Amino acid sequence: MENNNQNNQNNKPKKPVRPGGLGNPGPNQPFNAYWIYAILSMGLIGMLFFGQNKTLKKVDWSDFQEYVSDNRIESIVVYSNKEIAEAKVRSESVNYVFGEDASRFSANPFVTVNIPSTQGASEFLDTVKKEKGYDIKVRFDTTSEIWGMLLTFAPFLLIIVFWIWMMRRMQGGPGGAGGGIFSVGKSKAQLFDKDAGPKATFKDVAGLSEAKEEVQEIVEFLKHPGNYTNLGGKIPKGALLVGPPGTGKTLLAKAVAGEANVPFFSISGSDFVEMFVGVGASRVRDLFRQAKEKSPCIVFIDEIDAVGRARGKNVNFGSNDERENTLNQLLTEMDGFGSNSGVIILAATNRVDILDKALLRAGRFDRQIYVELPDLNDRKEIFKVHLRPIKIDESVDVEFLARQTPGFSGADIANVCNEAALIAARNKKKFVEREDFISAVDRIVGGLEKKNKIITQDEKKSIAIHEAGHATLSWFLEHANPLVKVTIVPRGKALGAAWYLPEERQITTKDQMLDEMCALLGGRAAEEVFIGKISSGAMNDLERVTKQAYGMITYLGMSDKMPNLSYYDSSGQDYTFQKPFSENTAELIDAEVKIMVAEQYERAKDLLRKHADGHHQLSQILLEKEIIYAENLEHIFGKRPWVSRSEEILQNEDSSKNVYDNTENKADNPAKDIPDGLSFPPIPSV
């Protein structure tokens, strides 16, 4: 708790705080701890160096006089307060002075001598220098007793100080950053306090209307708990956010904390996992201890499947599994004998099928909130949020962008907006235009254009015929995905690409799936019909067709010989060890897949032969302009007789809005009669 108080005193609300002294040193830290290592190491090396290399040999005054007279001394320091002289021996005289010990003194040879008096030594040295003309450096100085003691005991003092500092650092004390060995069992959760500055709210979460309604009750309980407790209600223990990656699960959890204005603990499921036994369970206990101190609060565990995987399914040799111990401790803390009043657990995962059943029961996670991929209306709202900081012009239509991005998550849409801004900046534009968003979608879906890729004329013609085959069939098949554009410019790993608007259907019929398969086989069929030979360009198409055919027969029961049979495993096990059908059934499945694919392939060839002229015009346009749009197909084949599902939804919304406006006007003017012929839509039967 010391680091929390320090952060509050420093008034840094935007910086997340790691409770329990586990926060990393900030970028404005005045002193780096690694300098301590360097200073201590240099001090120890220096002491050892000077202590070992400057070794003194004590000699008599008569021997010293002899050495000076024979010019074997290079320099002399006379300490007047102790009547001691230290002299450095010339390198060529080391063997003479030290004899057998010369090898030990070769680096720094010194001798020391007790002088009769400072004046006598000075007179002797002056006499020798004057008579013989020797160049001997003489210096008079005084020595300190305290400095000598420090030099003697300094290595030991440094070792003691270094040991104390290391022990405090290992214990996570004030001397270290809190990440020591003895604090390995501390929680790594980041704390976002309620006074920590700007917070996320429901306004920042676009779409997800159903999910926000689910968590709104949690917010209301945290704000006004008395409204529920007076009626005997209990606070929900936890909520599990389930959905694909990038749909906004983490953002929704932060918005709940921001709306409720309570502390928010954020931690990843992998932070509980360590190689040391018992560390995960210890971190769980420490996390809930901190949460109880801050209650009411919210604890958010992201990617809980890292620690909440179902028990007993791991193949290991030991019965003491660290991950299972962590999960057991988590289960106990969430619904044990202890009281966690005011602590709500939010968790997020995209693999709810592998979680332990004890974790999902009521009393731990009382509700599961599904955060799905955004639909058309949700994507419009998400685009509005991410377009706020971007300078766009009048050509940008949010509704058009939402229709162009089916199947995109919130994170994908944010990436589209950012990529469009980068493309506009690369082209020196002042505003982000519609074409920039289209290019951004193409860049994310298909990859970067490779205009310098070397392609022969025959290869280019084959690619054009292949892509024109896809475009032709998609135009004349009722349930095929509407075409947006086709290009033969290489993108990513593909030599050509076609963009469609996938229909966001809630249910899909067999006819719709067969039309999609037929459209996918249009490229290979066009090659065989108009070129007379097939190529490897249809590999991805064949892969998708084969998977779809097997799914229709084995999962959806759409086979004439195997009706109403499904071998789909919703538990996620996927029949690892054995298949739920016999070998004869497997052979029958293979035969049915072959028949289904062959029928759609022949259907594709018949349609292409019927519309050969239009296909030829499309391929020629592709060869000339390298790209065609839906307008080109409409010019060649005429207007498509079917309306896409997205257009149908938008038309229904407009019509319902007009009906609503008319009814409001009639309510405002009750005296006027309702005109004849005004009919209200029938009430659908349930």
| Pair of tokens at residue 235 | 């606070």
Element (H, E) at 190: strand 190-192
| 265 neighbors 168 (Cβ within 8 angstroms) | no
User: What is the 3-class SS of 613-658, one letter each residue?
Assistant: HHHHHHHHHHHHHCEEEHHHHHHHHCCCCCCCHHHHHHHHHHHHHH
Residue with tokens 């953002």: 251
Backbone φ, ψ for residue 638 (5° rounding):
90, 175
Tell me how long the chain is. 686
SS3 224: coil
The whole-angstrom separation of Cα 388 and Cα 351 is 33
The angle formed by the CA atoms of residues 472, 475 and 476, to the nearest 5 degrees, is 90
Centroid of chain to Cα 83: 73
Beta strands in 443-531 (DSSP E): 483-487, 497-500
Could you tell me which of 132, 309, 299, 120 has the C-alpha nearest to residue 218?
Answer: 299
Residue 2 among the catalytic residues: no
The whole-angstrom separation of Cα 137 and Cα 68 is 11
Could you tell me which of 552, 548, 549 has the C-alpha nearest to residue 567?
Answer: 552
Residue with tokens 């996570």: 172
Could you tell me which of 131, 140, 151 has the C-alpha nearest to residue 75?
Answer: 140
Buried b (16+ CB within 10 A) or exposed e, 441-455: bbbebbeebeeeeeb
Q: How far is CA 644 from CA 437, 505, 519, 604, 640, in A?
A: 22, 11, 16, 21, 10
Centroid of chain to Cα 419: 18
The whole-angstrom separation of Cα 514 and Cα 548 is 9
The whole-angstrom separation of Cα 669 and Cα 685 is 32
What one-letter code names the amino acid at 151?
L
Could you tell me which of 329, 314, 332 has the C-alpha nearest to residue 277?
Answer: 329
Centroid of chain to Cα 39: 38
| 240 neighbors 215 (Cβ within 8 angstroms) | no
The whole-angstrom separation of Cα 547 and Cα 72 is 96
A 10 A CB-CB count for 439 gives 17
Q: What is the DSSP string of 283-296?
A: HHHHHHHHHHHT-S
Q: How far is CA 261 from CA 17, 209, 227, in A?
A: 17, 21, 18
| 21 neighbors 2 (Cβ within 8 angstroms) | yes
The catalytically annotated residue of 467, 516, 527, 592 is: 467
Which residues pair with residue 240 across a beta bridge?
A: 347, 368
| Pair of tokens at residue 189 | 């959760």
| Pair of tokens at residue 546 | 């084969």
What are the strands of the beta sheet with 497-500, ordered from one edge? Answer: 497-500, 483-487, 627-629
Could you give the dihedral angle defined by the CA atoms of residues 422, 425, 426 and 427, in that order, rounded to the nearest 10 degrees? 130
User: What is the set of active-site residues?
Assistant: 467
